[in-house]
Amino acid sequence: MNNQTVIDKGQQYVMNTYGRTPVALVKGRGSRVWDAEGKQYLDFMSGIAVCALGHAHPELTAVLREQGEKLWHCSNIYWNVPQVELAEKLCRATGMDKAFFANSGAEANEGAIKLARKYFRRQGRNRYRIIAFRNSFHGRTTGALALTGQTKYQQGFEPLLPGVDFAEFNNLASVKALITDETCAVMVEPIQGEGGINAADPSFMQGLRDLCTEEGILLILDEVQCGLGRTGKMMGYQQYNIKPDIVTLAKALGGGFPIGALLADSEVAGGFVPGDHASTFGGNPLACAVGLKMMEIIFAPSFLEQVQATGEYLRQKLEGIAGRDGRAVTVKGLGLLLGIEFAAEVKGLVDICLKNGLLLISAGPRVLRLVPPLNITRGEVEEAVGILEQSLQEWDP
Ligand SMILES: *Cc1c(COP(=O)(O)O)cnc(C)c1O
């Protein structure tokens, strides 16, 4: 099969929801992937920040095979060992108390919305409104979509979940102005991913924490993209020295195996009692065994130090590029969640990089996003930067 055969069949039988790159990938190893015609690419998008240990990591494939021969699924009617071990690992590492497992980022956020509302309803209080931010991204299910502050994703799906108010990111006064006695929570990404790699200012994050505490409402952090080592800390909020009441995770949690989670403080988690929330597949042994191995590797202090060092190295290289290229505006992000903002739309540049053997994606129209595997080597960083520089020379927006 060549790329075109796969594309033709896909166009005939797969729903047309993505503007897809005309390449069919068939194999991956470490930071490299190959298409159906044997062309090799250096992967600096990691399946959108998912393959945090690259492709076909030997310890992950071993655990998948091992668990695959034991127990795949048994439902949450019973306890299973990998689920409780992953819950313990996540709670101990993050300082949160309880976990709920889902299958995706959007689903983790749905769980957070429901938990926030139920927590207050259980106290007999009618707090149900949630403050979210312009330019945010929380997923495509109808609840998460209602909290996503980008009209292009919402258009045509109205009426959306009611009870959502939008504030301006990095503007604490705009949040304050929206709080009423019906507000139950604020949901925010510490670093907006899809919205353009916009990091929260430390004073804004700390201010939000204080504001939520003063008002008696919940701070929900969506760390689906920025959590789990991506910024060089276990959690993005550790960059800000704060702790949320609820935090949601997904992308890197299974390294490519679908799994999402929400973690909460024990008092808040008490908002859910048996029957309140559920997921057939959520927390199944196969996904959790892989997630546990991912976390064992990523949460090791030496691994996180390495992410910080590689992130710093890549950042310096990108700043060099941005300094030499008049079309670049600025370098954004933290750790290995980085972006270069350009004055023009970057779609053409992404296509040239692909042709030259480097996979990248944008974050919004004008930001080139770099989210390589967290275990990328310096040599691979240099190679990617070389391809990017070459591609910039060919780019004429
Ligand atoms: C990707 C993403 C989501 C949605 O995750 P899915 O697994 O696609 O549902 C939610 N929030 C953030 C911050 C994301 O980056």
318 C-beta closer than 6 A to ligand 1: no
196 C-beta closer than 6 A to ligand 1: no
Q: Report the separation in Å between the CA atom of 8 and the middle of ligand 1, taken as the mean of its atom positions.
A: 28
Q: Which atom of ligand 1 is nearest to the CA of 144?
A: 10
143 C-beta closer than 6 A to ligand 1: no
Q: Ligand 1 pocket check: which of 148, 194, 226 to mutate, most ligand atoms within 8 Å of Cβ?
A: 194
- Residue 159, preceding bond cis, omega within 30 degrees? yes
Residues 130-146 have a mean pLDDT of 98
50-65 pLDDT, tens digit each: 999 999 999 999 999 9
Angstrom distances, CA of residue 191 to CA of 73, 94, 304, 350: 34, 18, 18, 22
Does the pLDDT value for residue 1 go beyond 90?
A: no
224 C-beta closer than 6 A to ligand 1: yes
Q: Report the separation in Å between the CA atom of 124 and the middle of ligand 1, taken as the mean of its atom positions.
A: 32
Q: Whose CA is nearest to atom 5 of ligand 1?
A: 105
198 C-beta closer than 6 A to ligand 1: no
62-106 pLDDT, tens digit each: 999 999 999 999 999 999 999 999 999 999 999 999 999 999 999
CA distance 373 to 371: 7
149 C-beta closer than 6 A to ligand 1: no
Q: Report the separation in Å between the CA atom of 326 and the middle of ligand 1, taken as the mean of its atom positions.
A: 32
136 C-beta closer than 6 A to ligand 1: no
Does the pLDDT value for residue 330 go beyond 90?
A: yes
pTM to 2 decimal places: 0.98
41 C-beta closer than 6 A to ligand 1: no
Kindly list the structural domains of the chain, giving each domain's residue range(s) and its CATH number in brackets, ordered by start: 3-57+301-394 (3.90.1150.10), 60-298 (3.40.640.10)
CA distance 55 to 173: 44
108-130 pLDDT, tens digit each: 999 999 999 999 999 999 999 99
> Burial level of 299, CB count in 10 A (0-12/13-18/19+)?
middle
Edge-to-edge strand ranges of the sheet holding 25-29: 25-29, 32-35, 40-43, 358-359
222 C-beta closer than 6 A to ligand 1: yes
115 C-beta closer than 6 A to ligand 1: no
Run of H or E including 28: strand 25-29
236-275 pLDDT, tens digit each: 999 999 999 999 999 999 999 999 999 999 999 999 999 9
339-397 pLDDT, tens digit each: 999 999 999 999 999 999 999 999 999 999 999 999 999 999 999 999 999 999 999 99
Q: Whose CA is nearest to atom 6 of ligand 1?
A: 105
Tell which residue, 231, 229, 176, has the closest CA to residue 199: 231
Question: Which residues have a Cβ under 8 Å from the Cβ of 43 and sit 6 or more positions away?
Answer: 28, 31, 32, 33, 51, 54, 55, 359, 372, 373
137 C-beta closer than 6 A to ligand 1: yes
23-59 pLDDT, tens digit each: 999 999 999 999 999 999 999 999 999 999 999 999 9
198-226 pLDDT, tens digit each: 999 999 999 999 999 999 999 999 999 99
In this structure, what is the dihedral angle of CA atoms 144, 92, 309, 359, given to the nearest 10 degrees?
Answer: -30
Task: Give percent above pLDDT 70 in the chain.
Answer: 100
230 C-beta closer than 6 A to ligand 1: no
Tell which residue, 86, 363, 396, has the closest CA to residue 197: 363
Q: Report the separation in Å between the CA atom of 247 and the middle of ligand 1, taken as the mean of its atom positions.
A: 13
Q: Ligand 1 pocket check: which of 150, 231, 251, 281 to mutate, most ligand atoms within 8 Å of Cβ?
A: 251
184 C-beta closer than 6 A to ligand 1: no
